[in-house]
Every structure is written in structure tokens, then in C-alpha cells.
Amino acid sequence: MMKILIATKNKGKVKEFQAMFESLGVEILSLADIEGSPDVEETGTTFEENAVLKAETISKEMNIPVIADDSGLEIDALNGKPGVYSARYAGIHKSDEDNMEKVLNELKEVKDSERSARFICALAFARPNEKTIVVKGECEGKILREKRGHQGFGYDPIFFVPHLGLSMAELSKAEKNSISHRAVALQRLNNLIDEEDMLWQKP
């Protein structure tokens, strides 16, 4: 079975990639499996830049193919914030809970009709001596007034998916992985790789 390293330390992302890659016959490793792996500083101003930075740094260092995910939440009433700062919105050492609380507080006075938001996921696939591929996926929704559900990770409990009538944290793993920003991006990456005739699974 082919193995791919996902350059992330986020356990929520790793679980979702493992589930989504299962059907492609690819085994997923993450930076959590590699002792002493470096923290790549996310200095980019876009999701794509940060994904490329993370993937290329680790791919060069280890000389293997690497996928990196840079993702986050864009809220229209906050002019796109927290955006690329989603992981550290409430501060560097703050938790998902703190981040959600900050968002809920900032949106206290915002009407239901103006609470539109989207999750964004940029994936970069970096390989030694090849051009890096970057794709982006989105998932549209609205910010709730309080947390709902216990599945998923990050901002999922405050993100409402209108066409399903549930929060992202109320969806089963399979449901989230069929509609999420990460699923859309991975599908796009898979299509590009098929076009390049470079299938995940080598014969």
C-alpha cells in the first residue's frame, strides 16, 4: 500500500484524511508519527501560501511526497476573519473552545441573516523535484449563536450547514467527509493527480 505523509500535527485533520484516503488505497502517516518533526511557521497571508510552505518544507527535509493542509473559517460579518489566523484567533496558546467563544462574542449583535461563513481548506502536494500542486475547497454555512454537537474538531460546533439543518459537529464522520471543505479539496487534488496520470496507488 502506498504511504503518504500529511504534514500536520492536528489529530482532527489526521482522522479525516485517514478515513477519506482509505477508499483510495493510501495509508496516511502524520507528523505525530515522526519524532522531533519541526514546527513550520505559518508566515503566509493566504491558505495556499501556508499549505505550500508546510508541504515543501517537510518534503525537502525528508525527501518524500508530502501533503499539507492549511484551513480555517472565514466569517463575512468579520470581513473574512479569523481566516488564516483561525488556529490562533484567541491567542497562541488558546484552545478551540477559546476561539469559538471569541467568535460567538464578536457576533453577539449580528442578525441571523448576516451570519454567513465558510470553511476553507487549501491542500498542497509537494514531491521531491516536482512542481507542487495546490487546490482549495470550500464549505458554506452560518455561524450559530451557541455550540451544537460533539463530533469533528475546531470550529465545527458553531458552524451550521443549512442544507442539512445540522451543525458540522452534529454530522457523522462519513457525512462531514462527504461535504466538508477538506473533502472538496481532496477530490480536486485527486482529479488533478488522475489527469497527470500519476495515480496514488502505483501498480
Ligand X SMILES: O=P(O)(O)OP(=O)(O)OP(=O)(O)OC[C@H]1O[C@@H](n2cnc3c(O)ncnc32)[C@H](O)[C@@H]1O
Closest separation in Å from C-beta 155 to ligand X: 4
According to CB under 6 A, which residues from 39 to 58 bind ligand X? 42
With H, G, I as helix, E, B as strand and everything else as coil, classify residue 97.
helix
156-190 core/surface letters (b: 16 or more CB in 10 A; e: else): bbbbbbeeeebbbbbbeeeebbebbbbbbbbebbb
Give the contact letters, 163-192, x = binds to ligand X (CB under 6 A), - = no.
-----------------x-x----------
Give the contact letters, 116-155, x = binds to ligand X (CB under 6 A), - = no.
---x--------------------------------xxxx
| CA 13/CA 202 separation, integer angstroms | 25
β-strand partners of 133: 125
Cβ proximity of 52 and 60 under 8 Å:
no
Amino acid identity, position 45: T
Closest separation in Å from C-beta 182 to ligand X: 6
Query: Annotated binding residues, as ranges?
Result: 8-13, 41, 70-71, 153-156, 176, 181-182
Catalytic residues: 70
Query: Which one among 70, 125, 141, 143 touches ligand X, defined by CB under 6 A?
Result: 70
According to CB under 6 A, which residues from 13 to 32 bind ligand X? 13
Cβ proximity of 137 and 183 under 8 Å:
yes
Query: Annotated binding residues for substrate, as ranges?
Result: 8-13, 71, 153-156, 176, 181-182
- Which of Mg ion, ligand X, none is residue 155 near (CB under 5 to 8 Å by kind)? ligand X
